[in-house]
Each structure stands twice: as structure tokens, then as C-alpha cells.
Chains A and B, each alone.
Chain A
Amino acid sequence: MFEEIIVAGAGGQGVLVLGEVLAIAAVKAGNKATWLPAYGPEMRGGTANCSVVLSSKEIGSPLVQEPSLLVCFNQPSITKFGPATAKGGKIFANADTIEEYPQMKEGVEIIKIKVNSLAAALGDERALNMVMLGAVLKKSAFVTLESCALALRDIWGAKAEELLPTSLKAMRSGQEAVAGQA
């Protein structure tokens, strides 16, 4: 396995946590992973993104420049990273906020999912990142929902009991939402 992932959106959309869950879940399944937050003089209220590399072998650069998988929560994210996505790569786009799609490379598959609406329908808009995670799991074989649940337990610690049920529901909702897409 070798996947180079960028997760991008606005601060507060759970972008960094989504990346961290993917990385820890991959490690739980016996792989190597690196997680690198966008790093520079931009923090509060701005854009947020992270690079995640998952690999069965030792990882070289932790910085992703040409993602094989891109997850976008808002318009600026897809405008910035969409064109950089590798040939034959996958893009998960939040259809609630993204209206314009830039020119992509050959064979890039775009999976559209309304994560804000789906999370709101579950009664917790904050779970939008977990809805997105469900979509990613459905369309990619590299991590399972079970290992993501284990990863969330690691990240949340004592709060996991309270937060996990909603997250699992949100992940399943995301899985179902993209099940029909080719």
C-alpha cells in the first residue's frame, strides 16, 4: 500500500482529526503512517490542511505535493489542491459548499457528498468530518471502520464513550451516501 492524502478545509471542520484518524487506523493495521499539519503563519479562522502518508514500507517525505487522494471540505481547498491531484486519483468533495470544479488531471475521479446536510440530519453538524470519513472508507480499501473506531478511542481517551456512537453513525451515513456512486 502507498497512499498520499491531503485533507483540506476551513479551521474547525475537523480536517486535522480526520487525517489523524486515517493515519492511526493505518498504523493499527500494521502499516507505517505520517501526519503533517499545514505549517506556517496561518491558524485561527483560516484554511486548515494536513498531509497524510500511509505505506507498507518506510516513508520518505511526509509532505504530500501530488495527492493520490484528496478530501475537500470547502471551495478554496479544491481550487488549491484539485489541480495537483495525481492522475487516476480520487477527490472527495463536500457538495454542500463546493460549486466550482477546477481543471483536473486525467482520470481523476470526483466523489461528491453533502456532508453538512448529512451531519445535520443526524442531529450533530460537527460530525461532518466523520460523514466524510465514512465516504472515504467506502471508496478506498486501505482502512476499516473498526480500525478507525480504535483510532478515535486513542485520540479521545475518556471522552470516547460519549462521542463514539455519534461518530459511528456519521461514518455509516457517509458510507451509505456514496455507495451508489460509480
Chain B
Amino acid sequence: MGDFKFIKGNEAAAEAAIRAGCEGFFFYPVTPSSEIGEYMANHLHRTGGVFAQAESEIAAVNMMFGGAATGARVMTGTSGVGYSLMSECISYMAGAEVPAVIVDVMRAGPGLGSLEPTQGDYNQVTKASGHGGHIIPVYAPSNAQEIVNFVHESFGTAERFRTPVVVLYDGYTGQVMESVEFPEGRQEKKPNTWSLDDAPGRKGRVVRSGYAGGIGQHSFELYAKYDDMKEKLQRFEEYQTEDAEIILVGFGIVGRICKSVVDKARDEGLKVGLIRPIMISPFPAKAFAKYKGTKVKFLTIEMSYGQMCHDVALAVGENDNTHFFRDKCGSLPAMSEILNRLRQLKGENS
């Protein structure tokens, strides 16, 4: 029997991190991620971890880099506005190959924007976490249970691939209370050969992202790692896709809404399925490969101007079969409107 709690998504993220073995949490508060910091401030001491509220996001992420370089299990939480500020350091961490977990709880709009939920950070997090062309794994949980599972797992992924890992979800998913079950035990931590300690009886080590003497070899090693991540980290859920004529694509909270839409559509005889990317970087192109050259239509639903839809088009092969639907920013897409769009697409089929 696991340990059940009825808890907010953000609190679930914090509790899962503590249970996974997080040793340092460095934070600057920003809505809608603040409950993560609040919870950590109250609970991280339980396991002897260090909580620091920094003077800015830039300070928080650099403290995290420092902690990571010593081999400590570290994490921060923020929203898109803070993620922008952290991007420089995330690039340095990717270059220096240190593991860390970053939870980004998305809020609406460019600039200061507003507090409502959105999925507008997709491109930023999957493709532009700073300069230099690194690739980092990004989990996209759709409910509180997945937040627990993926935050827990992300510490292991970060250490296995020596990389920062992002867990990305929107403000609603962070605010919804649901019942969750926590996994038993920590993420296993293996001894490493790179982190900084007091070098007992051996030569000191260097953690660096600078390769002023020439970066060729380092780049090849990074590229090999990205190939490995692409091979091993493509994760997705398929629902009712076997005979589907139209397949919905949505990540995070939109994914769970689309699952209900599939049930409703099936009730009225529409052959609809769902592909829900669980990791959005590396993008699960494998899920779409088999539909190349078929007549199956794809309808990507996003709470943004449209970002993941381009990855879908690339994976399926852009043609007349890829479509996109968005609702007004700052609210969840209404199931009735997605259904209308599906009926319309079905009509174009016949």
C-alpha cells in the first residue's frame, strides 16, 4: 500500500522531490509556482536538505549550479518569467554536464503577462533553454499523480544523462488538488567520477563549460548523449488510436481533457484517438512515424499560438492532414469546441 494524499500539484512536486532524495532547493518565488517553495521551506528539513530563498532567479539558479557541481541532488522551481532569467545558467549547466531538476509552472503571456495558465513556454523549454544548442529532457505531466512520478524520476534521469531536466506544467495543473500516491524509496544514487569534493588521495577535478582550446571533442560527446536521449527518452501515451481516423495531440492538462473528448467523440460514432506526448523533449516522433503517408488526420490542441503543432507536422510529414486548434489564452480549451472541430474535420473527410 502506498502513501496517499489529497494535495495540490505544486505541493505534490515538492513532496515528490523530498522523497526522491532532493538535498538542495534554491528558489525565488513567482506565481503560479510559489507553493513549491513554500512547501519546501516547511518540509525539506525533514530529510536534512538545504532550502535557500535567493535574492533573484539568477541567484537561485547559480546556487543550484554550485550545489550540482558538488554532486548534491538539487532543484529549483519557477515560472516562464523566471525561466528566462535562468536560461543563461541552464546553458552553462548543460555545457558543464551537471544534473539538476527545474520545475517550470507556466503562466500566460509574454513579458510579465498574467497569472492564468497557458502552454506558451513549450518552445522556450524544449528548444531554447539558453544559448549554444543543447538538448535537455522535458517531462510534461498531465495531473498531480504524474507530477509526483515524473519529479521523482527526473532526478534519476538528470544523473543518468548528466543534464538539467525540466518538469513543465501549467498553472492549473499546479493548483488542482487531487489524490496522489507517492512511490516508496528514493531514486537510486550511484557514485560518480566527476563531482567536486575534497579530492581524498587523488587529483582534483574540474567542472567547466568553457573549452577555449577547442570544443570539437566535447561537442561530439554531447551529440552522442543527445542521440542516446533521443533513443531512450521518447515517451508518449496512445489512447484509442488503433482504428482512429482523426488523432488528437495534446500535452499536459490538454492531454487529459482530450482523453475525455475522445470518449465523447466515440459515443457519437467518431473514430477519434489521442497521442499524448509525456516527454516533449526529446519529442516522441516515434509515435507518429507509422502514420506517414496514411490518411489519418491529426488535430493538435494547445493553450498557445501553436508551438508543438510544428513538431507534430515534422513527425507526420507536413501535409493536408495536420491541423491545429487553440482556445483563447488564459483558459482551458472547452471540450465542446474541440468536439465541434472534430465534427468539422470528419465532415471534410467524407
**A residues near B, CB below 8 A?**
20, 23-24, 27, 32-37, 39-41, 58-63, 65, 154
Contact = CB atoms under 8 A, between A and B. Distances in A.
5 contacts: A27-B6, A33-B179, A34-B177, A61-B332, A65-B334
A60 B259 contact: yes
A40 B257 CA distance: 21
9 smallest A-B Cβ distances: which pairs? A60-B260, A35-B177, A61-B257, A62-B176, A63-B332, A36-B176, A27-B179, A60-B257, A24-B6
Contact of B171 (A27, A32, A39, A59): A39
Contacts of B253: 61-62
Interface in B142-187: 171-172, 175-179
A153 to B, nearest CB: 12
A34 B32 contact: no
B114 A60 contact: no
A63 B260 CA distance: 13
Contacts of B115: 39-41
Q: Chain B's interface: helix, strand, loop or mixed, by majority?
A: mixed
Q: How large is the interface on B (under 10, 10 to 19, 20 to 34, 35 or more residues)?
A: 20 to 34
A39 B172 contact: yes
Given A41-B115, A61-B335, A63-B332, A36 B256 contact: no
Among A20, A27, A37, A39, max chain B CB count under 10 A is at A39
Contacts, number: 63
B175 A60 contact: no
Contacts of B117: 39
A16 to B, nearest CB: 10
Interface string B241-274: 0000000000001001111110000000000000
Given A27-B6, A39-B115, A61-B332, A34 B257 contact: no
B116 interface: yes
Nearest to B174: A39
A73 B287 CA distance: 48
A55 to B, nearest CB: 10
A18 to B, nearest CB: 14
Given A40-B114, A60-B258, A61-B257, 10 more contacts: A24-B6, A32-B178, A33-B179, A39-B32, A39-B171, A41-B114, A41-B115, A59-B178, A60-B335, A61-B332
A37 B114 CA distance: 16
